[in-house]
Amino acid sequence: MENKTLISANWKMHLTHLEAIRMLQELSFLLDEVNYEKIEIAIHPPFTSLRSVQILIDDMKKVELSLGAQNCHFAESGAYTGEISPAMLAALQVKYVIVGHSERRQLFEETDDFIAKKLAAIWQHKMTPILAIGETLEERDNDQTESKIHDQLDVALMAAQPKQIESMVIAYEPIWAIGTGESATPQDIEAVVEIIRSWIKKNKNEAAAKSVRIQYGGSVKPINIGGIMGAQGVDGVLVGGASIDASEFARIVRYQD
């Protein structure tokens, strides 16, 4: 059976809750003919908009959206000023949580160990992690893409059960492609998707390697989505910049029209 396509909107630190409501209203108008049997759409707003977005999603008649978060802490609760726990997200019916985005790794110094703890906490609360991995330009130029991907998977997924991996999402996001306007080619993407599935097959099992959904992220736009989705083994995309413009994002979702 083919994996269902997952197109995720990572709004990053954009849109107030009022702007988020307007954005979703616009989107619902543009997305009402999407075939939801084939495509799942997830919205990852900032924490301050989660509740407003959740209420709107519940209320939508023709448009089906899943709710996602961009991050969380691994602890259940506690003295972690400024942090949000997985229990808090689960209580808001959050389905997906992005973990290990390169902006969090680079700007907030998150390590693979820290990311592994978050994955475990997200699973414990029955949500689905989207684990982001990818290489820098320097690593790519030095032919270190494969070893970087292996290193990230070795630590983040070491303790994960094959069944957990079956239902998770991995986003291949080359750092040099994020926010730069320069996306990876379908050939580049296919090669890394194959590296990820082979790692899972070798270290976990074949069912997990097949069922895990793998997204590509990095300068996804209406103009390149067709080629990216044509890459073998790609089950969807994680969209940053183009996801905060309703018409651009709708064109990405409706790339097959």
Candidate segments 44-52, 81-89, 211-219, 223-231, binder of ligand PGA by CB under 6 A:
211-219
Among 148, 243, 157, 254, residue whose Cα is nearest residue 202: 157
Strand, coil or helix: 63: coil
CB of 178 to ligand PGA, least distance (A): 4
- Whose Cβ is closer to ligand PGA: residue 220's or residue 246's? 220
Cα–Cα distance for residue pair 244/23, rounded to 1 Å: 8
Residue list 151-190, contact with ligand PGA (CB under 6 A) = 173, 178-179
Q: Does 230 bind ligand PGA (CB under 6 A)?
A: no
Neighbours of 181 (CB within 10 A): 9
Give catalytic status of residue 173 as yes or no: yes
Judged by phi (left if over 0) then psi (alpha if -120 to 50, else beta), residue 17 lies in alpha
131 counts as binding ligand PGA under rule CB under 6 A: no
Nearer to ligand PGA, 53 or 238 (CB): 238
Cβ 59 to ligand PGA shortest distance, Å: 27
Find the angle CA(214)-CA(238)-CA(52) to the nearest 5 degrees. 125
Phi-psi group of 239: left, alpha or beta (phi > 0 → left; psi -120 to 50 → alpha; rest → beta): beta
CB of 29 to ligand PGA, least distance (A): 23
Total chain residues near ligand PGA (CB under 6 A): 13
Positions marked catalytic: 101, 173
